[in-house]
Structure formats: C-alpha cells, structure tokens
Homo-oligomer: A and B are copies of this chain.
Amino acid sequence: MDLSRCAIHSITHKPWTLAQCCNKFAAAGVAGISVWHNVLKPISLDEAAKIVRGSGLQVPALVRGGFFVSSEPDKRRAAIDENKACIDEAAALGAGMVVLVVGAQPGLPLADARQQVCDGIAACLDHARACKVKLAIEPLHPIYAADRSCINRMAEARAVCEQLQHPMLGIALDVYHVWWDPDLEHEIELAGEQGTLLALHVSDWRQVLRDPLNDRGLMGDGCIDIRGIRRLVEKANFRGLIEVEVFSDQYWAMNQDEYLKLVCRRFADCV
C-alpha cells in the first residue's frame, strides 16, 4: 500500500491525542500529519513539537487560523493577533502552512465580510514570511457561507490571492467543499499557473447529508471524483502530500486502530 503521499489530519482521529496520532500514523506508514489546535491544548508547544519531530512525520499544515470577520473592530484586531500566534505555532511544529477558514458573520453583507478577510490576511503576511509559514485560504462549501466562511469557491480565493499578490499566500483545495463547482478544472489550472495551489484535502460527499458538519464520508463513501481531481491538481504541478480530513461522528465512534486501517486502505484505493 503506497502511503508516501498520504497525510492525515489529527481531527480525522478525534479520539486520539497528538502523541497517539503521531505514533499510529508513523507506524502505519503514513507520510504526514496535519495538526489541529484541539490536540495542542492539553500539552505545551515544546512538547508538541518534540512529539511531532520525534515521529519523523511531515507536517503539511496547522489547522486552522482565519475567522477574520466581525462587525466589531476590536474582534478583527484580536483575530489578526491570534493568526500571528497561530503562525508562530506552525513554525514551532515545522508545519508548512496555516489553513485559513476565513470567517463570516450572519447578517453582515458578504461583500463587506470578504473585504475584512482581505484586510485581515494582508495584516498577517509579513509575519508569515518572517516565519516561513504559508497561509492557505480554504474555500468552504456554500452551506457554510452564513457563519464560517464568506469564501466559497476557488474563484473567490483566487481573487484574494490576486489582490494581495504575496508569495506566502495560496489556496487549500478541499474536495468536499468544491467538487460541485463547474469552474473547478479551470481554477485548478489557474492556481497551478499562479503557484497558489498549496494543499489538497480529501474526504467524500455522502448523497444524503445526515448532518451538515460531522457526517463527512471517507473516500469511496460518496460521489466525489477524487481521482479525477487528484489528476487535475497533479497536472497543475501540485506535489504536496494529500491530506485526509474527515469529520464523522460515525467514524469517531469506531475502534480507531481499525479505522486507521480503513483510512489507509481507502486512500490507496480511492485517491
């Protein structure tokens, strides 16, 4: 089973600690881990960095920064500070990027929210460069447009990248969020040309959504043409690890060792 391109997000195995994730992923032959904040909270950053480095795993990303949108200027300023701190943490862990879920606020006009995102990211880019950590805007499915992300397609993430024109800024493509977009192929080509394609996250879209947040499918459970999208991003010269990011009450309830075997099998078969 070739897992040399496979990374797994720690949240995929939510019941596990960072140490468990690192040990088990490395033992399974997985190449990398993307680290979510929740596994950092119970331990010091030094300890986390030691665990991650000791595992030999690559660390594509720290997940997640962002949430730049607020009608209150104080909160927008606080978000910028938090994102800078997040960049510091990523650097300490040896993570190549911070994934940005950019934020939204119900009732705030989307155009205003999008401008706040642009301003917030702009304020973090110098710090990102100093720390050698990239920032990856993750377009979220339009189902999350009200409260989580006012950037919902590759085209909108590209607009921010084009506006800010910064070598540390790019896009994280998550198949779950963008698989339906008829412009996807074209946007992947553009991101390839512009050098902004920083990440590929994989999971699957179940036909019947039982819960809008925590019912993602594992690759092969749903209708996304994951292999087709992988071909497109590789044609666009993406060479990074491919990251498994699955939120699922169903899978979190499984024996996690068995689940990891399934994740690896599905990665080999469906990605």
Q: Which residues of A contact B (CB under 8 A)?
A: 106-107, 109-111, 114, 141-143, 145-147, 152, 156, 179-182, 205, 207-209, 212, 222-223, 225, 228
Contact = CB atoms under 8 A, between A and B. Distances in A.
A146 B222 contact: yes
A29 B105 CA distance: 36
A156 B153 CA distance: 14
Nearest to A224: B146
A143 B177 CA distance: 10
B182 A114 contact: yes
Nearest to A111: B182
**What are the 3 closest A-B residue pairs judged by CB atoms, nearest first?**
A145-B180, A106-B223, A106-B207
A152 B178 CA distance: 12
Nearest to A178: B142
Given A141-B142, A142-B142, A146-B207, A180 B110 contact: yes
A106 B209 CA distance: 13
A147 B110 CA distance: 27
Contacts of A225: 109
Contact of A205 (B141, B146, B180, B182): B146
Given A110-B182, A111-B182, A156-B182, A208 B147 contact: yes
Nearest to A151: B182
Nearest to A212: B209
Contacts of A109: 225, 228
A207 to B, nearest CB: 4
A257 to B, nearest CB: 30
Nearest to A208: B147
Given A143-B209, A209-B212, 12 more contacts: A107-B223, A109-B225, A109-B228, A110-B180, A114-B182, A141-B143, A142-B142, A142-B181, A143-B143, A145-B179, A145-B180, A212-B212
Contacts of A208: 147
B209 A180 contact: no
A225 B109 CA distance: 8
